[in-house]
């Protein structure tokens, strides 16, 4: 497993995340892992006490995690939101926009390529889970 990439003020959450089933059963855990076919909304009652939600990307083509991330952010989750698995450099900028703020890719990430990818688009067309202003906002104030 490659390095953890982390874009938060606080440090990365260290304890291992438990499965959704385990979390819903026990649960004083503060870190949970969602598989790509699990419903992020199952976590909505517990967002206050979660500090890490890890979302799995079994293949880069499986885009369900992008929706899961936005749903969690839209519901007010402010803890660490981590993308884990087949996460590619060129996907990280989109994932950032959906609210992910840490990444645990299974393959080593080319840091230079990543830095360039994150810098590349100065403007975006949509409002999403990040703080970026869409161009219509820049156009109309």
Residues that bind other proteins (CB under 8 A): 60-64, 66-68, 70, 74, 88, 90-91, 94-95, 97-98, 110, 113, 116-117, 120-128, 134-140
Closest to other proteins by CB, 29 vs 98, is 98
Smallest separation (angstroms) from other proteins to the CB of 135? 4
Q: In whole angstroms, what is the distance from residue 71 CA to residue 69 CA?
A: 5
Of 58, 134, 72, 63, which Cα lies nearest the Cα of 101? Answer: 72
- Nearest distance, CB of residue 122 and other proteins, angstroms: 6
Cβ-based nearer residue to other proteins, 9 or 61: 61
Of residues 48 and 125, the one with the C-beta less far from other proteins: 125
Query: Closer to other proteins at the Cβ: 81 or 128?
Result: 128
Q: How far apart are CA 130 and CA 98, in angstroms?
A: 7
Q: CB within 8 A of 77, min separation 6: which ones? A: 43, 47, 50, 53, 99
Smallest gap from residue 56 Cβ to other proteins (A)? 13
CA dihedral of 94, 100, 102, 103, whole degrees rounded to 10: -50
């Amino acid at each position: 497993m490659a390095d953890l990439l982390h874009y938060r003020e606080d440090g990365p959450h260290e304890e291992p995340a438990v499965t959704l089933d385990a979390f819903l059963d026990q649960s004083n855990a503060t870190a949970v892992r969602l598989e790509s076919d699990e419903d992020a909304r199952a976590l909505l009652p517990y967002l206050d006490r979660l500090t890490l939600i890890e979302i799995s990307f079994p293949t880069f083509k499986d885009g369900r995690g992008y929706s899961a991330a936005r749903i969690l952010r839209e519901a007010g989750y402010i803890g660490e939101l981590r993308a884990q698995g087949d996460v590619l450099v060129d996907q990280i900028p989109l994932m950032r926009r959906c609210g992910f703020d840490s990444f645990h890719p299974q393959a080593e990430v080319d840091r230079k390529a990543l830095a360039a990818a994150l810098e590349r688009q100065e403007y975006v067309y949509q409002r999403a889970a990040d703080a970026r202003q869409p161009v219509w906002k820049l156009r109309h104030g």
